Structure 1
Amino acid sequence: MFVSYILSKVRAYMRYRDTVRELSMLSDRELDDLGISRFQIESIAREHAVA
């Protein structure tokens, strides 16, 4: 049970990191098309990692 909890946290962190990296690579114009501001990237990534 403890190991599965740790693995889920590691996977969530990896999803967070990947999402931040991918969104950060987008231009401001592309982010605007998605309705995202640069300052929102981390919170959006955090939400995605939990889901």
Structure 2
Amino acid sequence: MFLTWVLSRIRAYQRYRQTVRELQRLSDRELNDVGLSRSDIDHVAKRFAHA
């Protein structure tokens, strides 16, 4: 049970980091096109990682 929880947290963190990396690669204009700003990246990545 504990191991399953730890592994799920590791996977969530990996999804978070990947999402941050991908969104940071976008230009400000591209982010704006999808309705985001640079300050939204962390929040969006956290929501996606735990979805």
Please, what TM-score do these two structures have when normalized by structure 2?
Answer: 0.99
| Identity within the alignment, % | 57
SS state at 2:41 partner: helix
Match status 1:46 vs 2:46: yes
> CA shift at 1:6, angstroms?
0.1
> CA shift at 1:50, angstroms?
0.3
List, as ranges, runs of 4+ consecutive aligned residues in structure 1 with deviation greater than 6 Å. Answer: none
| Structure 1: runs of 5 or more not aligned | none
| Structure 2: runs of 5 or more not aligned | none
Matches within 5 A, 1:1-51: 1-51=1-51
> CA shift at 1:8, angstroms?
0.2
| Residues 1-25 of structure 1: per-residue CA shift (max 9 Å, x gap) | 0000000000000000000000000
Please, what TM-score do these two structures have when normalized by structure 1?
Answer: 0.99
Please provide the CA RMSD for this pair: 0.3
Give the length in aligned residue pairs: 51
